[in-house]
Structure 1
Amino acid sequence: MADPSLRQALEANEFILAPGVFDMISAKVADGMGFRALYATGFGVTASHLGVADAGIATYTDMVSRMGTIARGCRTPLIADADTGYGGLLNVRHTVAGYEAAGVTAIQLEDQEMPKKCGHTPGRRVIPAEEMALKIRVAVETRKSPDFLIIARTDARTSLGLEEAIRRGKIYAEAGADVIFIESPETEAEMAEVGKQIRKPLFANMVEGGRTPILPAETLHKYGYRIAIYPAVGFLTVAAALERAYAQLKKDGHSNNLPADASYGFGRMCELMGFPEVWEFDRKWAEIAGNLPPRKAAE
């Protein structure tokens, strides 16, 4: 069931900062930190689940299963990447219904041709704006709850220019999208221009090393952005930490020399994964089982 708090925050003109999560460890860590939303990144989920590029290889079945696992395992509302809707209009209907049933609160749909590519990589091509507008209309018609937000993304900026990207954003807003996502503007001035021209809540994609400048939350809010995602910060940090730890292990032949702050700690990880509840369950039922009469030998 979609969490109404995201729509309420948008209506109250609040700013939502959402870290990228890509598996259940990253999701559970972020879930306990007080964010208003989490963003399930297509790049990160595809990489962690399949170990391949975010280039249209992951299917609807791959993604809805992983997104549902994350949504069910967290208290924080989840914004989920759904690529192009995995096909045409019928696929979009199936995708929206599936993501909403899985417990996601907001779905991101983009206007790329299939197979899609990561929004901060080259070679992206887009479908006609009118075709994407139909996808948005189908998505709006399909959702069961108005609290399930439709985020419409255009990748037109890189190949067709900012003016075309803004034109598409306006068309997608008219089609019923709740939030407009102009992917990869290349300067702060471009981001400000988007905010001047599109009168809908805007979505900012802050990728370390990407095409768009990373701006403070206060600046984004001033320009009209209401949601900012940091999809890569988690998996980029984790990959670097793993590389350092594995290199130290290989060099020393043991893990005793890892810096004290390099490890989350086995005890903390047990708590994060819910082991105390499991242990309490075991204690309770072991005591009850211990009071059962002895089993009779089979005759």
Structure 2
Amino acid sequence: MNMTPSLKRKRLRALLNAPYALQAPGIYDGYGARLVQDAGFEACYMTGNGVSAALLGRPDVGLVDLTMIADHARRVASCIDIPLVCDADTGYGNVVNVRRTIAEFEAAGVAAIHIEDQVSPKRCAQLPGDRTVLDFSSAVGKIAAASAARSDSDFVLIARTDCVGAFGIDEAVRRTRAFAAEGADVVFVELKNNPDILRQIRYLKDNVQVPMVINMDTGGAVRQLRAAELKQAGIDLAIYPALARGVFGYAMTQALNHLNTHGNIENFAQTSMFSSAQYNAALGLEDIEQWESRFDKSL
């Protein structure tokens, strides 16, 4: 790996202001991150929901703490040369905790995090029902604290609000404007699928003059947008949190059903699984072997 955390952060900032939208497929481990990089994407997104599933086998209801996810993020960020954007939930506490959250993710080599205005314990926005959020001043104060806590000015702070369900789109505009004024580089409004979602995105973009993230798992009209259409719709960073976790769940279930039904995986392995060569290539085995042969003269 050649790109330092600082260079990854600078690269992400440039991509957020590019004439095209940045697509960041969702992953939850280093293997998935390497696959995203090998596929040619310029950034990837580590979903807290997926990390909760992978590390705990539990839903995203606030069970993953700062130490767990920052340690995991360090390993993921170190195995790729593209920026890693990471879910940091509520910042894992109050404004004092947020200070440590920034320090931990910066030290982990992550390029960006998003912090949301939900109360603790949080619940994944994609679960049914509206989310309970902090009052306006507390939400803004937390983002101000996160911005002030940065030691690397290129570390990208994404301020997220989950207020739309309970308080409407105008409250989201009010909050994201205030977040940007306090130093947030990017804003992220969590939206539920509805017939007006594209109009809502444009309304937000027109009223908050900073780059904007949209969760592409929202569904409906947003999910149908192609790469060339994202920027035109007002989206600067499109994240796909469910991609890896959804594909894995489906593919693994198919493989298990095949094994259970047929008693072996012979035919399945030939058509629906990586070969050993493909798997090792994705993990960079050739690079390791070249390094080994260069310095280990006993080989």
* TM-score strictly above 0.5: yes
CA contact (8 A) 1:20 1:230 kept: yes
Point out which structure has higher relative CO (alpha carbons under 8 A, 6+ apart). Answer: 2
State the alpha-carbon separation in 2 of the partners of residues 194 and 283 from structure 1: 55
Matched residue, 1:84: 90
State the alpha-carbon separation in 2 of the partners of residues 211 and 11 from structure 1: 24
Structure possessing the higher radius of gyration over alpha carbons: 1
Cα distance, 1:287 vs structure 2: 5.1
Whether 1:56 and 2:66 are equivalent positions in the alignment is no
CA contact (8 A) 1:120 1:210 kept: no
Matched residue, 2:52: 46
State the alpha-carbon separation in 1 of the partners of residues 99 and 288 from structure 2: 39
Whether 1:23 and 2:14 are equivalent positions in the alignment is no
Aligned residue for 1:181, secondary structure, equals: strand
- Relative distance call for 1:250 and 1:143 in structure 2 (3 A) is same
TM-score, length-scaled by structure 1: 0.90
Letter in 2 for 1:40: M
Letter in 1 for 2:46: A
State the alpha-carbon separation in 2 of the partners of residues 97 and 213 from structure 1: 34
Aligned residue for 1:203, secondary structure, equals: strand
Whether 1:149 and 2:156 are equivalent positions in the alignment is yes
- Relative distance call for 1:213 and 1:9 in structure 2 (3 A) is closer
Aligned residue for 1:268, secondary structure, equals: helix
State the alpha-carbon separation in 1 of the partners of residues 185 and 179 from structure 2: 9
Deviations 1:139-163 (A, max 9, x none): 1111122211000000001121112
After TM superposition, the structure 1 stretch with the greater mean CA deviation from structure 2, 195-204 or 275-284, is 275-284
Whether 1:171 and 2:202 are equivalent positions in the alignment is no
CA contact (8 A) 1:21 1:44 kept: yes
CA contact (8 A) 1:36 1:76 kept: yes
CA contact (8 A) 1:22 1:44 kept: yes
State the alpha-carbon separation in 1 of the partners of residues 224 and 189 from structure 2: 14
CA contact (8 A) 2:23 2:239 kept: yes
Deviations 1:128-149 (A, max 9, x none): 1211211111111111222110
Whether 1:255 and 2:255 are equivalent positions in the alignment is no
State the alpha-carbon separation in 1 of the partners of residues 36 and 185 from structure 2: 25
What is the count of residue pairs matched by the alignment? 289
1:34 to 6, 16, 40: 40
State the alpha-carbon separation in 2 of the partners of residues 276 and 196 from structure 1: 48
Identity %: 33
Matched residue, 2:225: 215
Cα distance, 1:252 vs structure 2: 1.0
Matched residue, 1:296: none
